[in-house]
Amino acid sequence: MDPKLLLLAVYWYFWPDSTRASSLSHRIGNLTNISQVHEISNGFYADTGPFKRILSKYYYIEAKRKVNWFMAVHKCRELGAHLISLRNAQEFDELIRALNIRNCYWTDLTDLAEQSKYRSMTTGLAASYLRWGSLEPNNLGKNEHCVQLIAYDKRRFIMNDNQCTRRCYFICETKLPSQTNIVIQQPNL
């Protein structure tokens, strides 16, 4: 965390209400550059960009660069997150609303350890939710071991096994982004 923001947070907490608002307005400035702001406590806000909150988790949806599955795992870890691990139909249905139907997206599921036994790269446990497309998983060419989300007939998303070396966009998931900036908002006077 930026030491200046931490100092402002301490300053905000210990100063009396009547003096802190006018004093902080000179230090904080305009908050319009904050991309995803969520209140985390009374008067404390977190900028979670580039993550987007959906239900109780935060997701980063890569939309510019396609990568293979292994690089997607790495990129999510760089962001302090992990590849998406869908746990139920509600998570699946809410998330796909934010996706582009022309794109494919990597999930954390793979059967690299044991053929046809799809496990979460995040937890090591068996997949808790699957929504396969018709005739999937098919391990086409005996070389499809990583799971992607794709739009079936360009209408609805399904899960598909594909070659881990193929390039897709990816979705990172976290409960709270590790690179969150805490912002103190001046109360309306």
Which domains occur in the chain, in start order?
3-51+180-184 (no CATH), 54-174 (3.10.100.10)
Strand partners, 46: 38, 182
21 contacts 12 by C-beta, under 8 angstroms: no
> Could you check whether the bond before residue 177 is cis, i.e. omega within 30 degrees of 0?
no
**Is the pTM for the entire model greater than 0.85?**
no
Residue 62 CB-density burial (10 A; 0-12 exposed, 13-18 middle, 19+ buried): buried
Q: Residue 70 and residue 75: Cα distance in Å, rounded?
A: 9
Q: What is the maximum alpha-carbon separation in the chain?
A: 70
- Per-residue tens of pLDDT for the chain, all 189 residues: 443 343 334 334 434 444 333 333 333 333 333 345 555 555 555 555 688 999 989 999 999 999 999 999 999 999 999 999 999 999 999 999 999 999 999 999 999 999 999 999 999 999 999 999 999 999 999 999 999 999 988 779 999 999 999 999 999 999 876 655 444 555 565
CA angle 156, 160, 163 (to 5 degrees): 140
